[in-house]
Amino acid sequence: MIKNFFFLLITIIFVLSACTPSLEPTTIPAITPTLVPTITPIPTEIPYMDSDLDGLSDEKENHVQTNPFQIDSDGDGLNDYDEVTKYYTNPLDSDSDNDGIQDSDWSERREYTETLYLKMRILPPFNSDSMNDHFQDINVLDENENFLLFELIFYPDSYHIIEEIPFDIYLQLSEDYQKFLVPDPLMNFDKEMSDIVKNELNLESVNFTSLDVIEKMYQWESRYVDWMPGTKDSSKPYPEPFLDIEINEENEITFPSTSIMFSSKPRESEYSQYYSDELFDREWQMDHIILGKEMFLNKSHGSCGSIANFHSTILRSVGIPTRIIQTVPVLNPSDKAQIELLDKLPPNVKNTLHSQIGYNHFLVEAFVGGRWIRVNNNSIESNVEMRGAFIKVISFDSWKNASFARSWGYNRPYKLLDIEYQDAIHKSQKMIFK
């Protein structure tokens, strides 16, 4: 909790800000993350064997006749798991269609499932390493601190096999996961919260898998938690505050984009309805839609960035590694030139994309069964939703490592330059587990 003194101070600052256009960044005093001393893995008795840790159990590998001790049975550069669940190529044949080109070739990978090719330019924050994931592959054309230009193949039919395995089995392999388990200034859980979460979610004394914990979190949330707009006055919803936040070296939480917004005339008119006293009630926002622990205790959260932080804070507090991701739609719908690019697509694809091009989306990935699984607003989904093409542009362990305020702040810092749809050329092999 922030001390009363700071409440008073901030209130005065905000009252002053509301009287005159705020051209200075607002700053919330530092909240120092404290390491939770011991994270007790939630034990499970469920037997499971995945000898090569590739995500396919020995039992499944025996079923499809891949080598349970080798992640890439046919040596073509694509692991067995991806061939089975993402590319639908043959995991036992390095050249599934016998044309002399290996399955792992950039274009060859697209031939057994429908795909979307995109060429895009995005502004920071981005992390090109995180953009090769289970739903997309990228080819970087140009990258510097100001922008990323890339080609991307999106795989809408990719899915995850989520195994109910002890969640700490993979954590024992690497200390790299520690950073996905600790608090940060916004995911501010502590030992007290950890104990309350275990109690509220009834996690004591029984063996649960990570999936069980996530399911229990959803159930608890649906019963007790209120969705809040960004202000106390629900008639004045405020846009996603997580696009405003920066965290400095001293762990102070700042909102620099208020000054950026006010300096931009078009933006000012577009969002002027939100410029009210409530806009600056950061104290209320911190307690109800921004800080993870306070949201948990007050049983409230806001829109997607808030929900992502809420879920991430809860899951980390009981020892499940999480990271936050930001996805963007395939195009900026306010740019006519980008909209017109969709005319190149088959009508059904165009309509699907049209239904979700209006928004970007924050969500959480939890490390479950050796995989980063997307934990969306209210369900575990292999993809984001609606089979839509939500493009992951960054994943991060701490909000300190992803500042959206400078280039986002109510802009749409992504631009579609080209798009092309391709249906599967060969008969799909996706019958294996689906």
Instruction: Examine residue 78 and tell whether it contacts Ca ion (CB under 5 A).
Output: yes
* Tokens (6 digits) for 145: 């601190």
Q: Judge whether 322 and 362 are in contact, CB under 8 Å.
A: no
Instruction: Examine residue 56 and tell whether it contacts Ca ion (CB under 5 A).
Output: yes
Q: How far is the CB of 421 from Ca ion (least distance, A)?
A: 21
In whole angstroms, give the CA distance from residue 392 to residue 133.
8
Question: One-letter amino acid identity for 250?
Answer: E
Helix, strand or coil, per DSSP, at residue 326: strand
Closer to Ca ion by Cβ: residue 95 or 381:
95
Stretch that binds Ca ion, among 36-44, 72-80, 212-220, 415-423 (CB under 5 A): 72-80
Phi, psi of 297 (to 5 degrees): -70, -35
Question: One-letter amino acid identity for 193?
Answer: M
Q: Judge whether 417 and 121 are in contact, CB under 8 Å.
A: yes
Among 39, 52, 134, 383, binds Ca ion (CB under 5 A): 52
**C-alpha distances in Å from residue 362, one per residue of 138, 185, 204:** 20, 18, 30
Instruction: Examine residue 95 and tell whether it contacts Ca ion (CB under 5 A).
Output: yes
Instruction: Examine residue 163 and tell whether it contacts Ca ion (CB under 5 A).
Output: no
Instruction: Examine residue 215 and tell whether it contacts Ca ion (CB under 5 A).
Output: no
Q: How far is the CB of 110 from Ca ion (least distance, A)?
A: 11
Stretch that binds Ca ion, among 44-52, 264-272, 290-298, 391-399 (CB under 5 A): 44-52
Q: Indicate the residue whose CB is closest to Ca ion.
A: 103
Closer to Ca ion by Cβ: residue 109 or 392:
109
Closer to Ca ion by Cβ: residue 91 or 388:
91
Instruction: Examine residue 196 and tell whether it contacts Ca ion (CB under 5 A).
Output: no
Q: How far is the CB of 58 from Ca ion (least distance, A)?
A: 6
Instruction: Examine residue 190 and tell whether it contacts Ca ion (CB under 5 A).
Output: no
In whole angstroms, give the CA distance from residue 187 to residue 373.
19
Q: How far is the CB of 376 from Ca ion (least distance, A)?
A: 27
Among 76, 157, 240, 287, binds Ca ion (CB under 5 A): 76
Helix, strand or coil, per DSSP, at residue 154: strand
**Helix and strand element counts for the chain (H, E):** 12, 13
Instruction: Examine residue 72 and tell whether it contacts Ca ion (CB under 5 A).
Output: yes
Strand order from edge to edge, sheet including 414-422: 136-143, 148-154, 115-122, 414-422
* Tokens (6 digits) for 7: 């409440």
State the number of CA atoms in the 13 A half-sphere of 114 facing the CB: 11
Among 10, 22, 74, 292, binds Ca ion (CB under 5 A): 74
Phi, psi of 241 (to 5 degrees): -70, -20
Stretch that binds Ca ion, among 47-55, 130-138, 288-296, 401-409 (CB under 5 A): 47-55
In whole angstroms, give the CA distance from residue 391 to residue 330.
7
Question: One-letter amino acid identity for 175?
Answer: E
Instruction: Examine residue 405 and tell whether it contacts Ca ion (CB under 5 A).
Output: no
Helix, strand or coil, per DSSP, at residue 300: strand
Q: How far is the CB of 51 from Ca ion (least distance, A)?
A: 6
Applying CB under 5 A, what is the total number of residues that bind Ca ion? 16
Instruction: Examine residue 97 and tell whether it contacts Ca ion (CB under 5 A).
Output: yes
Among 54, 133, 244, 397, binds Ca ion (CB under 5 A): 54
Residues that bind Ca ion (CB under 5 A): 50, 52, 54, 56, 72, 74, 76, 78, 89-90, 95, 97, 99, 101, 103, 108
